[in-house]
Amino acid sequence: MTRAFVGLGSNLDEPAAQLERAFEALAALPGTRLVARSPVYRTAPVGDPDQPEFRNAVAELATTLAAPDLLAAMQDVERRQGRRRDPRRRFGPRTIDLDLLMYGDSVIRQPGLVVPHPRLAGRAFVLRPLADLAPALEIPGLGRVADLLAGVDTRGVRPAGPPGSVEGDSANEHPANEDQS
């Protein structure tokens, strides 16, 4: 079994519910077990500020799937949850976004698959929930998660409350600001 980490993000169609469905779908992948899930965070969009806030989290998986097969399965989960890619808005809104952040201690550079995720080290909305699960995790070529987190601005990453609460999921709230991909 390989230890893998997946970043989850959503800002459309009841984001908290989208994340919950994605966690369940990841846990149901063949040869895969959901080991842990981070708390959910509210984050401002990056790169395209004219959209609702995101909900972000990280899943830790134990899987027998090869990295390309895991990525393909994740993309299938995205399609089943209504993900539509708009080439004009690369960092635009989405029902669900699943990013393969880490696959064991592998460094993979293939067309369509780069691990560790190429923007992982600079994204507070990924590092904060990843640090909740594995602060001492070494990202090949980059360093420990806790050290990387200490080097980014985390002011825009706030704990999300339970669904239905004031801090929870109110579907498509007012715009804020980043590509969660």
> What residues act catalytically?
83, 94, 97, 99
CA distances to 66, 162, 171 from 165, rounded to whole Å, are 39, 6, 12
SS3 per-residue string spanning 74-124: HHHHHHHCCCCCCCCCCCCCCCCEEEEEEECCCCEEECCEEECCCCHHHCH
Q: Are 6 and 59 in contact (CB under 8 A)?
A: yes
φ/ψ of residue 135, rounded to 5: -65, -25
Q: Which residues pair with 109 in a beta bridge?
A: 114
